[in-house]
Structure 1
Amino acid sequence: MNVNFFASRTISWYMARLFVVRSFAVLAALAVILLALDLLGESGDILAVPGNGDAQLWYYVSLRLPQIVSRFLPFSVLLGTLITLATLNQNSEIISMKAAGISAHQILAPLIVASLAIAGISFWFNDHVVARATNVLSAWQDVDYGPIPQSHGVVSNVWVRAGEDLIHAAQASGRGSATVLRDVRLYDRQGDRLGAIVSAPRATYGGGGWQLREARIFDVASGRVVNRQNVTIGRGVSPDRFTLATVNPDGLSFRALAQAIGDLRAAGRPTVALDTVLWHKISGALSVVLMPLLAAVAGFGLARSGALFVRAVIGMALGFTYFVADNFALAMGNIGAYPPLLAAWAPFLLFLLIGEAVLIRTEE
C-alpha cells in the first residue's frame, strides 16, 4: 500500500487542477448572478442622487464585488468539491485510484493542500481589499450614495470611563490632539455614589486632559450649580478613546482591528463582540479547508448503485450545516453568550472531527 502523503505527483496535480478550476468557475458564476441582482436593487437609489450616472454604478460594482467574492468563496469551494468528486466517481476514476492502493485521505490530500492555498489568498484578500471596500461602501451608503464628506468619521453618543468617572460626548470629531468633543458631560462618581455633574458645550484636548469652556457644575449633595470659565477633566484619557467608540470590524484589517480592540479595552469598554470577529477573520478564511472533507462523501461509493445523488446531497447538507452552525456561534459570540475563541473556532473544530469521522468510518 502507498503510505506517502500524496499518491503520485501526476494524480495530485490532476486532482488539484480540477478542484481549483471548478471552484473558481462556480465562484465566478455566483458572483456575476448575485452582483447583477444586487445592482438591480441598488441602482435606483444610486441614480436618484443628482449627478450620479454610469460611473457611480461601476464604482458601486467595484466596492460590492469584493464583498460578494469573500462571502461566497466557501460555498463555491464546497460546490466545486462536490462537482469534482462526483464527476471522478461517475467516470470510475475514484474506483481506479482505490484499486491501485490509494487511500481516501491520499485522494483528498491534493484538494486539502489546494484549499490551504486558497485560504491564505482569502485571508489576504479580506484583509487588504474587502475591508477597505466595506469601509468606503458603508461611508457612501451613510450619505445615501451622495458625495462623501471629507469630515466623515464623526462619532456620536460616546461614553468613556476615566477611573470611577464617566464622560459622555454627544459628538466627537477630528483626529489626535485636534479632536473636539461637543455637548460634554462628566459624571463625577465617588464609589457607588454620584457626586457632581460637569457639563459644557465644547471640549478640546490639551495638557494631558480635556479643557472645558463655560462649564456648568451641578453638586448632587447640595443641589447647587456653579459656573466656571475653564475646567480640566479626564486627565490621561486619550483622544483615541472617543474617536474609536464606534468600530466597524468588517471595515478594518486584522491588525487595525486588534489595535482598535486594545484602545477600547484601555477605555474600559467591552470588546467581546469585536474579539469574536477578530478570531473569525482567521477561522472564516480557513473554512474553505473543511469543504473538501465535508464534501468527500460524494466521491466514494459505487456510482452505478444509484446512491451518487444521495451522497452529493449528504455532502452539501454537511457543508451548509457548517455555515449555519458558524453563523449561530458568531451571533452568540457577538452578544457575549459564548467566549470569543469558542464562538470563532468551535464550529470549525467540530465539523473537522465530523468530516474526518465520516470519512474514516465509510472509506478507511
Structure 2
Amino acid sequence: MNFFPSRTLALYMAKMLTLRTLAVLAMLVLVLQALDLLGESGRIMAQQGNGQSELWTYITLRAPQLVQRFLPFAVLLGTIITAATLNQNSEVISMKAGGLSAHQILAPLVITSLIVAIISFLFNETVVAPATARLSAWERVDYGPIPAASNVRTNVWVRDGNNLVNAKTVTGRGTDVLLQDITIYDRSGNSLRSLMHGDEARFTGTTWNVTGVTKFDVLTGTEELKESITIGDSLRPDQFTLANVDAASLSFPQLMSAITELKKAGRPTMALQSNLWHKISSPLSAVLMPLLGAVAAFGLARSGQLFIRAVIGMALGFAYFVADNFSLAMGTIGAYPPILAAWAPFILFFLIGETVLIRTEE
C-alpha cells in the first residue's frame, strides 16, 4: 500500500509528465489560436476604429477558453508520451523488477494530474469565466466598443404580454438592475402601434421608470419627446438578468446563485445544474488521463506493440471526451439527471481504466 516507495522516482515521473503536458498544451493553443484568429480577424477589423490592439484583446480573451478546453487532451497526450518514453527506455521494466506494481508506477502521474485539475478549476473560475463573459458581450456588439462592466448582458429581448422590450445592455442584478438603450415595441395583435426608445430604465419596485424617451406613433407618423415614462408593471427584473444565463460565463458561485434565482422564479434549471456539476467533473477529468493512457507504459517495447498500445490509450481518452460531451448534451435537454450527466462518464471510464490495468498488469 506504499504508493511512493521512492521520492526521487516520484519527482522524476511528475516532472516528465508536467513538462510534456505543458509542451503539448502550448502547441495546441498556439495552432488553434492562430486558426481561430484567421477566421475572426475579418469581423474584428470590419468594425470601424478597430486595429492591432483589438486583435490582441481578442487573443487574450480567447486563449483562456482554448486552455480550458484542451488541457485534459494535453494531459492525455502528455501521459502517453511519458509512458511510451519510460517503456521504450526499459525504465518501466526496471521499476517492476524493483518490486513496484502498476498502480505504484502510475501513482506519481495521478497525483500530478490531480494538482493540474485543481489548478485548472481555479483558472476556470478566476480567468476563463470572466474572459468568456467579456468575449460573449463583445461578440454580440459585433466587436464594437467593449462594455466596461464585467457582468453586462447585451441585446436582451423580453416579452411583456403582447409587447416586446429590447435592452442593448443590462447591468446589475435583482432590484438594482439597469437597462440602457431600451426600445419598447407596443403591439396590438400582430400590428405595431408605437415605438418607444429610452436612454435608461430603472426598476422602482413595481414598475419601470424610463428616462429620455422618444415615442413614435406608427398610425399618425408623429414623434413625441418625453422626459420620463412608467412602463411594465408586469415586467420582473429577473426576466432581463436571467433571460440568457450562460453557464460558461459564470463562476461556480455565480452559477449557483443564478440557479437559485431561476428556481424562485419558477423557471427550469436542469440544464444549468448539469453545467454546474460539470464545472467540477471537467477539470477532474485530468485525473483519469494517466489511468486511460497507462496502457502505453506496459508491455515489452521490443515486441512491436508499443505503437498499438499508445493508440489504444488515445482511443480510450478520446472515447471519454465523446461520452462526456454526449452525456452533458443529454443533461442539457433534460434526458439525464444533472448529477448523472456530469459524473457518469467519469465513473464509467474510471472503472474501464482500472479494469484494463488490473487485468493486463496486476
User: Which residue in 1 is equivalent to 2:335?
Assistant: 337
Letter of the structure 1 residue corresponding to residue 18 of structure 2: V
After TM superposition, the structure 1 = structure 2 runs for residues 1-364 of structure 1, keeping only pairs within 5 Å, are 3-149=1-147, 153-154=153-154, 156-158=156-158, 170-171=165-166, 173=170, 175=172, 176-177=175-176, 179=178, 183=184, 205-206=203-204, 208-210=205-207, 233=233, 239-364=237-362
- Cα deviation for residue 262 of structure 1 reads 0.6
Number of residue pairs matched? 326
The 1:284–1:159 alpha-carbon spacing in structure 2 relative to 1, beyond 3 Å, is farther
Letter of the structure 1 residue corresponding to residue 49 of structure 2: G
What SS is found at the alignment partner of 1:5?
coil
The 1:184–1:259 alpha-carbon spacing in structure 2 relative to 1, beyond 3 Å, is farther
- Cα deviation for residue 298 of structure 1 reads 0.4
Q: Which moved more, 1:286-295 or 1:43-52?
A: 43-52
The 1:314–1:289 alpha-carbon spacing in structure 2 relative to 1, beyond 3 Å, is same
Normalization by structure 1: what TM-score?
Answer: 0.82
The 1:50–1:22 alpha-carbon spacing in structure 2 relative to 1, beyond 3 Å, is same
Distance 1:277 1:159 in 2: 26
Normalization by structure 2: what TM-score?
Answer: 0.83
User: Deviation digits for residues 95-128 of structure 1, max 9, x if unmatched?
Assistant: 0100111000000000000111000000000111
Letter of the structure 2 residue corresponding to residue 292 of structure 1: P
Distance 1:315 1:106 in 2: 19
Distance 2:67 2:313 in 1: 22
Letter of the structure 1 residue corresponding to residue 357 of structure 2: L
User: Deviation digits for residues 6-60 of structure 1, max 9, x if unmatched?
Assistant: 1311110111110111111110111111111111111122122222111111111
Distance 2:18 2:230 in 1: 66
Letter of the structure 1 residue corresponding to residue 207 of structure 2: W
Say if 2:138 and 2:147, in contact at 8 Å, map to a contact too. Answer: no
Distance 2:350 2:140 in 1: 40
Give unmatched runs, 5+ long, in structure 1. 161-165, 186-199, 214-228
Distance 2:49 2:209 in 1: 42
Letter of the structure 2 residue corresponding to residue 75 of structure 1: F
- Cα deviation for residue 287 of structure 1 reads 0.4
Distance 1:148 1:28 in 2: 28
Say if 1:119 and 1:286, in contact at 8 Å, map to a contact too. Answer: yes
- Cα deviation for residue 347 of structure 1 reads 0.2
Letter of the structure 2 residue corresponding to residue 254 of structure 1: F
What SS is found at the alignment partner of 1:301?
coil
- Cα deviation for residue 253 of structure 1 reads 0.6
Distance 2:233 2:73 in 1: 52
Which runs of structure 1 show a deviation greater than 2 angstroms over 4 or more consecutive aligned residues?
148-160, 166-185, 200-206, 208-213, 229-234, 237-242
What SS is found at the alignment partner of 2:165?
strand
The 1:363–1:243 alpha-carbon spacing in structure 2 relative to 1, beyond 3 Å, is same
Distance 1:106 1:278 in 2: 33
- Cα deviation for residue 156 of structure 1 reads 3.0
What SS is found at the alignment partner of 1:209?
coil
- Cα deviation for residue 148 of structure 1 reads 2.6
Q: Which moved more, 1:142-151 or 1:304-313?
A: 142-151
Distance 2:178 2:323 in 1: 42
Letter of the structure 2 residue corresponding to residue 145 of structure 1: Y
Say if 1:82 and 1:315, in contact at 8 Å, map to a contact too. Answer: yes
Distance 2:97 2:309 in 1: 21
Give unmatched runs, 5+ long, in structure 2. 187-194, 211-228
Distance 2:66 2:315 in 1: 22
- Cα deviation for residue 155 of structure 1 reads 5.6
